Amino acid sequence: MPPVLTVSDLNVRFALHQAEVTAVSDLSFSLEPGETLAVVGESGSGKSQAFLSLMGLVAKNATVSGRAMLGDVDLLALGHSDLNRYRGKDIAMIFQDPMTSLNPSLRVKAQLAEVLVRHQGYTPEQAIRAAIEMLERVGIPEPVKRANAYPHELSGGMRQRVMIAMALLCKPKVLIADEPTTALDVTVQAQMLDLFKNLTTELGTALVLITHDLGVVAGIADRMMVMYGGRCVEKGPTDALFYDPRHPYTLGLLHSTPHVAKRARRLDPIQGLPPSLEHLPQGCAFHPRCAFRLERCFAERPPLLPVEEAHEKACWYQGELNYEEVA
Amino acid sequence: MIAFILRRLAVAIPTLLVLIVISFILMKVAPGNPFAGEKSVPQAVLDNIFARYGLDKPAWQQLVEYVYNVVFRFDFGPSFQYRDRTVNDIIAQGFPVTFTYGAWAFLAASLIGIALGVVAAVKQNSWLDYLAVGFTIGAQVVPNFVMAPILVLVFTLWLGWLPGGGWNGGHWSNVVLPVIALATSYLANIARITRSSMLEVLNSNYIRTARAKGLPSHQVIIKHALRPALLPVISYLGPVFVGMVTGSVVIDLYFSTGGIGQAFVNSALNRDYSTILGITILLGALTITANLVVDILYAWIDPKIKL
C-alpha cells in the first residue's frame, strides 16, 4: 500500500525581530496507512511545530517549505481555503491541553456537529445524532447529556475524549495527537492510550503520537522517530529503538525514563540542556551533551543514514553504544 | 433566569431609595437655595415662595413627601425654575430627544466599533489594522466639544448638507450630526477594547482547534471567536448606554436639541431641586436596568456564569 502521508524536506523557520530561527530542518518521513508513529523529543526539538505546520497552524511569522503529500495533495502548497477542505476531514489533530482546547461558550454537540456539517454535508440534526454516537464510542457515559453540556461541566479526561471524538468524526486518514495525555492523570492516561489504539485500528487511521514520554510510546507505537534540535536523529521500529538504540541521544532518553531504565538504580538524566534553536551548536547539534562524540562531530553534521532494515540514524559514531560510558 | 431578574428588581428599589436620600441630603447641605437671586427680595416674599414649594417644612418632612409623591403618584413635583412646568413635563419633553439621538449613537458606536475592532484584530499588523488603530486614537483624543463645531463647520457651513442645529421633531437631518458628535469617541473606545480582546481570543487554544477542524475563517471568527471576545466589550457598553441615552450637555448646547442633558445641567446651576432629583432617579433607574441587561448578556456569552 502506498504511504498515506509522505513528508519530504520539511523546513519551518520563524522570523524573529533580530534573527531567523529554524525550528524544523529537512525533516522527511512517511506514514503507512493505519500505523502508529511516535515522534519523541524534548521541548523545543521541533516535534510540535513540524506537525502544526502540516495543519497550517503555525504562527504567522513562520515560513514553511518542503512537501507533505496526503494522497496526491501537497498540504504545504494549498492556500488556506483549500487546506480547510482537508484538515478536520482527512487529517485531524488533537492538542495537549484539553482544558483550553474546547470553546467555552459552545455546547459540546455544537462543536462536534459542525465538523460533519462542514465536511460531510450532514444536516445539523444528522450531525448531532452522529456526534452523540461518536461520544458513546469514545467511552463517554450518558452521551446525550454530555453532548448538551458546556466544556467546563466536563472533567479533563472527558474533555480529551470529546477532542478525540471530534478528531475522528470524519474517519481521517491521519490523526496527529500532540502530547494528548500530558495534562491528564496517570490513570486516565492509560485509558486514553487504549482508546487511541482501538479507535485508530478500527477506523484504519494512521496515528502520529507526539510525546516526550517513552512509556506512552512503548505501548502503542509501531515506529518511532526521535527528534533533536529540529532534526530527526534516529527513526525505526519501536522495538529496535528500545532494545538496540543507535543514537546516543536515544540511548540517553531511554535511560532518563523511569519505566524503561529498570536496571538503573536511580534516574540518569541526559546531562546539559536542550539547545536553543537560536544558537544551535555547529556540527552535530547534540555533540555538547554527547558522551561518544568524535572530533568530526564538532564541525560536520551527520546525515541520516540507514543502519539496518528500516532503521536510520544521524550519528558519526559507529561503535557499540555502551550505557556505562554515558553514566 | 426569571428568578434572577425578580431578585435584581427587588434590590433595585432600596437602591433607588438610597440614591434619592443621598441626593436630597447633598442638595440641602450645599449652600444657597433656588430663589437666591441677584436681586434682594423682601423676606415676606421669600417666605411666601418657600411656603408655596413646601420649603418651609422641616427637611425630613420634605423628603418623606417627595418620596411618597414619586412612589405612589409618579409625580416628581413642580420645577422650581420654570413656574408653569412640572419635572414630569421637563423629562417628557427632553428625554425622548436625548433618547433618540443617544440610542442611534449607541447603535452606531457599538456596531461600527465592534466591526472595526474585529477587522483590525483579524488583519493584525496590516494597513487595515494600522488605519483602524490610527482612527481610534485620533477619535479618542478629539473631545466632543471640538468635534461638534468641526462637524458644523464642515457639513453645515462648507458643504451645506445638514442643518447645524435644532431638533425639528427629530427629522433625520437634525439627528445625524449630534449622533456623529456623540458616538465618535465611544466608537473608538469600543473598537479598541474589541480589538485587544479579539486578539487574545484569536490566540487561544480553542480557536486553534476550530481552525484544525477546517472551518472557514468567517465561521471561526463569528461562531467561535466573537462571542467570548465580546465579554469585556459588553461590560463597557452597559454604562456607555446610560451615558449616551441621557445625553450630553455639550451636544444639547451645540446643536440646540433641547435634550435632557442641558436641562440637567441647568437645574443643577439653578438649584432646581425637584428637577435634579427627577433626572437623577431616571439616571439611576436606567443604570440599574442597563446593568441587569449586561448581566443577562454575560450569562449568555459565558455559560460558566450562572444567574
The tens digit of pLDDT for each residue in A36-91 reads 999 998 888 889 999 999 999 998 889 999 999 998 899 999 888 899 999 999 99
Report the pLDDT value the prediction gives residue A182, as an integer from 0 to 100. Answer: 80
- The residues in A 236-275 lying below 8 A from B, measured between CB atoms, are none
Q: Do the chains contact at B212 and A103, CB–CB below 8 Å?
A: no
CA-CA distances (angstroms) from residue B244 to A40, B127, B170, B276, B294? 58, 31, 16, 18, 16
Give the H/E segment covering residue A307: strand A305-308
**A322 CB within 8 Å of a chain B CB:** no
CA B167 to chain centre: 19
Q: What is the DSSP letter of A138?
A: T
Cell numbers for A104, please give them: 467555552
Distance from CA of A145 to the nearest CA of B (A): 16
Q: Nearest-CA distance from A58 to chain B in Å?
A: 10
Task: Give the pLDDT confidence score for residue A260 in this predicted structure.
Answer: 46
Cell of B11: 434590590
Q: What is the pLDDT of residues A181-240, one digit of tens each?
A: 887 777 878 888 888 888 888 888 999 999 888 877 887 899 999 999 999 999 999 998
Q: How many CB atoms lie within 10 A of CB B142?
A: 15
How is chain B split into domains, by residue range?
93-271+290-301
Domain assignment present for residue A272? The answer is: yes
Q: Which residue of chain A comes nearest to B125, CA vs CA?
A: A60
CB contact under 8 A, B213 and A104: no
**Cα–Cα dist A107/B165, whole Å:** 51
Most confident of A9-13, A76-80, B173-177: A9-13
Q: Examine residue A199 and state whether it is found in any structural domain, yes or no.
A: no
Q: In the prediction, which pLDDT does A49 show?
A: 92
Share the mean pLDDT of chain A: 87
Give the gyration radius of chain A's Cα atoms.
20
Q: How many CB pairs under 8 A join A and B?
A: 76
pLDDT score at A193: 85
Distance CA B260, CA B130 (A): 38
DSSP annotation string for A16-81: -SS-EEEEEEEEEEEE-TT-EEEEE--TTSSHHHHHHHHTT-S-TTEEEEEEEEETTEEGGG--HH
Q: Strand A62-70: give its sheet, edge to edge.
A: A20-31, A5-15, A62-70, A73-74
**Using CB atoms, which residue from B211, B215, B228 is nearest to A105?**
B228
Q: Cα angle at A237 between A271 and A295, to 5 degrees?
A: 40
Tell me if A118 and B215 make a contact (CB, 8 A cut-off): yes
Q: Is the pLDDT of residue A326 over 80?
A: no
> Is B68 within 8 Å of B76 (Cβ atoms)?
no
Sign of the CA dihedral running A291, A296, A299, A301? negative
Is the Cβ–Cβ distance between A261 and A251 less than 8 Å?
no
Query: What does the buried/exposed string (b/e) look like for A234-252 if buried means 16 or more CB atoms within 10 Å of the residue's CB?
Result: bbbbbebbbeebbbbbbbb
Q: Please, what's the b/e burial string for A191-217 (b: 16 or more CB within 10 A of its CB; e: otherwise)?
A: bbbebbbebbeeeebbbbbbbbbbbbb
Of chain A, the end-to-end C-alpha distance in Å amounts to 43
How high is the ipTM of this complex? 0.88
Interface test with A, best of B123, B125, B199, B213 (most A CBs within 10 A): B213
A169 touching B (Cβ < 8 Å):
no
Quote the pLDDT of residue B161.
Answer: 86
Contact B215 A100 (CB under 8 A): no
**Lowest-confidence pick of A165-169, A261-265, B148-152, B181-185:** A261-265
Chain B hits for A87, CB-CB cut-off 8 Å, are 211-214
Out of B211, B223, B228, name the one closest to residue A104 (CB).
B228
Residue A305 lies in a domain: yes
Share of chain B above pLDDT 70, in %: 98
Distant-in-sequence, close-in-space partners of A138: CB < 8 Å, separation ≥ 6: A161, A162, A164, A165, A168, A195, A199
> Is A57 in CB contact (< 8 Å) with chain B?
yes
Query: What span, in angstroms and rounded, lies between the C-alpha atoms of A321 and A250?
Result: 10
Confidence band of B254 (pLDDT split at 50, 70, 90): confident
pLDDT the model gives residue A325: 53
Q: Which residue of A has its CA nearest to B217?
A: A81
Of B206, B212, B303, the CB nearest to A92: B212
Where is pLDDT greater, at A31 or A60? A31
Share of chain B residues as helix, strand and coil, in percent rounded to the nearest 5: 75, 0, 25
Q: Which of A186, A244, A246, A245 is nearest to A216 (CA)?
A: A186
Listed residue (A93, A110, A111) closest to A102, CA to CA: A111
Number of domains present in the structure of chain A:
1
Confirm whether A298 is domain-assigned.
Answer: yes
Residue of A80 and B234 predicted with greater confidence: B234
pLDDT band at A1 (very low <50, low <70, confident <90, very high): confident
Contact predicate A274/A280, CB 8 Å:
no
State the Cα torsion B75-B79-B83-B88 to the nearest 10°.
-40
- Which of A103, A114, A159 to mutate against chain B (most B CBs within 10 Å)? A103
Residue-range definition of the domain harbouring residue A322: 245-327
Query: Which residues contact residue A99 at a Cβ distance below 8 angstroms, ignoring those fewer than 6 apart?
Result: A156, A159, A183
Q: Are A224 and A37 in contact (CB under 8 A)?
A: yes
d(CA A309, CA B177): 80
Query: Stretch B56-78: mean pLDDT, rounded?
Result: 84
Residue indicated by cell numbers 482546547: A101
B70 touches B63 (CB < 8 A): no
Write the single-letter amino acid at A5.
L
Fold of B93-271+290-301: MetI-like fold (1.10.3720)
Does residue A324 lie within any of the structural domains?
yes
Where is average pLDDT lowest: A48-62, A153-167, A183-197, A241-255?
Answer: A183-197
A100 is written with which cell numbers?
483550553
The per-residue pLDDT for A261 is 47
Q: Is residue A137 part of a domain?
A: no
Pairing of strands A91-94, A174-178: parallel
